[in-house]
């Protein structure tokens, strides 16, 4: 049997008629840049997330860059985030001249360790990028309280957390801005690159709309210098179709996760769903000391796996000159040695997920 880590083809075929119809509508209208398809998706996505404003953009990296620009981060301002994330989270801090400052994570959830967060805040700290890793939000209520006390701008990197919740609230409720990626493999993914920002603040939304499209108010009137960070209309139309299926897909992911929780060997570590969180399982991640051996064995059995992420950002060659050192963020470093993402997508069959569990058991007990 072959079990991919993610199966985009089977997902497409499950909604093929709807997708093809949406693409055809855009082609027939020839409305490819901004226009009604982008506007409709922005409104529908904001409504889904239960916030006032949605702004489509080119990708998740662009979303983070725009958020930091809207926050007014400038040269020398400290921005706190975690080291166990994709480099897009920190690249954007560098884009605006900010100083990257890391806070380690909790070993149970791989999310920001809130107990050490406040100790990392200095008078130069201006913003916090909270990463909702693997599809789970940390305690955003507590984070928001700390941010308010220290006058910090809160950006949620929700690239992996479409439909996730903390105490019943999705990304965008606690943060000033939440940023999403619609990379094809995401829980809500398009057929290329795409992203979005959401916010409840009118002034921020107005600024983001200017920044995303050359700072223009009309076709040839530009209030500020902006960027060409627009979301393509074709991708917006595709996303709008898929958005209507997202809750159903989310429940399927959670069902698969419950199966893994129940049937994987008890001594296989895993990233836990915290009390108060609704985990949407962009990835289902286990922990095992013989990680590389397990992955090699599963590959032989036709089971795809991944590592998200194998090198913490403070140890990346790109940041060799920043003064970070090995051992500085021990939890992130230990996670990087042990984590492995196993197959997770809505259309995963009972036979496939049982096959995965059976072979992990065989590896453990051999």
C-alpha distance from residue 335 to each of 150, 208, 312, 318 (Å) = 30, 35, 9, 20
243, 262, 291 - which closes a domain:
243
Q: What is the pLDDT of residue 365?
A: 87
Is residue 327 assigned to a domain? yes
Q: Looking at the domain assignment, is residue 3 inside a domain?
A: no
Largest CA distance in the chain: 69
Domain stops at, among 202, 217, 243: 243
At 254-283, the pLDDT tens digits run 999 999 999 999 889 999 999 999 999 999
Q: Once rounded to an integer, what is the mean pLDDT over residues 194-219?
A: 96
When divided into structural domains, the chain yields a total of 2
Specify the pLDDT at position 298: 98
User: 226 and 358: one domain?
Assistant: no
Instruction: Assess whether 250 and 239 both reside in one domain.
Output: no
Q: Which residues pair with 165 in a beta bridge?
A: 278
What was the pLDDT predicted at 292?
96
Alpha-carbon distance 115 to 46, whole Å? 31
Instruction: Give the pLDDT confidence score for residue 283 in this predicted structure.
Output: 98
Q: Identify whether 1 is part of a domain.
A: no
Residues 239, 250: one domain?
A: no
Asked whether residue 219 carries a pLDDT value surpassing 90, the answer given is no
Burial of 325 (0-12, 13-18, 19+ CB in 10 A): exposed
**Apex 187 CA angle, 57 and 28, nearest 5:** 55
With a CB cutoff of 8 Å and minimum separation 6, the contacts of 53 are 46, 198, 199, 200, 201, 202, 204, 205, 208
Contact 177, 67 (CB under 8 A): yes
Residues 146 and 285 in one domain: no
Same domain for 200 and 347, yes or no, is no
316 found inside a domain:
yes
The answer to whether position 172 is within a domain reads yes
20 in any annotated domain: yes
pLDDT at residue 218 greater than cutoff 90: no
What percentage of the chain has pLDDT greater than the value 90?
98
144 and 77 belong to one structural domain = yes
Q: Which domain holds residue 157?
A: 8-243
- Span 58-106, pLDDT tens digits: 999 999 999 999 999 999 999 999 999 999 999 999 999 999 999 999 9
Work out the average pLDDT over 327-350: 98
Return the ∠ at Cα 279 (arms to 341 and 56), rounded to 5°: 95
At 366 the pLDDT is 80
314 and 330 housed in the same domain: yes
Q: Quick one: 58 and 182 in the same domain?
A: yes
Q: From the CB of residue 288, how many other CB atoms can be counted at a distance below 10 Å? A: 21
Is residue 34 domain-shared with residue 181, that is, in the same domain? yes
Q: How far apart are CA 84 and CA 174, in angstroms?
A: 22
CA distances from 347 to 158, 322, 352 (A): 23, 43, 10
Mark whether 305 and 323 lie in a shared domain: yes
* pLDDT above 70: percentage of residues in the chain: 100
The domain boundary residue, chosen from 225, 243, 261: 243
Average pLDDT rounded to a whole number, residues 183-208: 98
Asked whether residue 140 is assigned to any structural domain, the reply reads: yes
Across 300-304, 325-329, 362-366, least confident range: 362-366
Asked whether residue 2 is assigned to any structural domain, the reply reads no
Looking up residue 165, the CATH number of its domain turns out to be 3.40.640.10
pLDDT of 161 higher than 90: yes
Q: Find the CATH number of the domain harbouring 314.
A: 3.90.1150.10
Examine the domain organization and report whether 52 and 136 are in the same domain: yes
Mean pLDDT computed over 166-183: 98
3-state DSSP assignment of residue 323: coil
Q: Clarify whether residues 137 and 253 are in a common domain.
A: no
For all residues of the chain together, what is the average pLDDT?
Answer: 97
């Amino acid at each position: 049997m072959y079990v991919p880590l993610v199966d985009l083809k089977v997902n497409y075929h499950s909604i093929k008629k709807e997708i093809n119809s949406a693409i055809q509508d855009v082609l027939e209208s020839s409305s490819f840049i901004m226009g009604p398809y982008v506007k409709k998706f922005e409104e529908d996505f904001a409504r889904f997330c239960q916030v006032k404003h949605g702004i489509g953009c080119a990708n998740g990296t662009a979303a983070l860059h725009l958020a930091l620009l809207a926050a007014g981060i400038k040269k020398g301002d400290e921005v706190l985030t975690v080291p166990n994330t994709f480099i897009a989270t920190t690249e954007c801090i560098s884009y605006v001249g900010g100083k990257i400052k890391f806070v380690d994570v909790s070993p149970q959830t791989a999310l920001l360790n809130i107990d050490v967060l406040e100790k990392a805040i200095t008078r130069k700290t201006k913003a916090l990028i909270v990463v909702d890793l693997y599809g789970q939000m940390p305690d955003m209520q507590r984070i928001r309280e700390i941010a308010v006390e220290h006058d910090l701008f809160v950006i949620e990197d929700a690239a992996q957390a479409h439909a996730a919740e903390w105490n019943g609230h999705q990304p965008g409720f606690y943060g000033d801005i939440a940023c999403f990626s619609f990379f094809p493999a995401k829980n809500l993914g398009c057929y290329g690159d795409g992203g979005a920002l959401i916010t409840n603040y009118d002034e921020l939304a107005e600024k983001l709309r200017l920044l995303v499209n050359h700072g223009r108010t009309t076709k040839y009137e530009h209030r500020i210098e902006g960027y060409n960070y627009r979301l393509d209309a074709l991708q917006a139309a595709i996303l709008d179709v898929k958005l209507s299926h997202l809750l159903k897909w989310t429940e399927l992911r959670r069902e698969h996760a419950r199966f893994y929780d129940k049937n994987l060997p008890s001594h296989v570590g895993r990233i836990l769903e915290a009390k108060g969180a609704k985990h949407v399982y962009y990835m289902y991640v286990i922990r095992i000391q013989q990680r590389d051996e397990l992955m090699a064995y599963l590959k032989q059995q036709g089971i795809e796996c991944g590592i998200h992420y194998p090198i913490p950002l403070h140890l990346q060659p790109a940041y060799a000159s920043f003064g970070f050192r090995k051992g500085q963020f021990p939890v992130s470093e230990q996670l990087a040695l042990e984590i492995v993402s196993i197959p997770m997508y809505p259309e995963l069959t009972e036979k496939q997920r049982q096959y995965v569990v059976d072979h992990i058991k065989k590896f453990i007990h051999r």
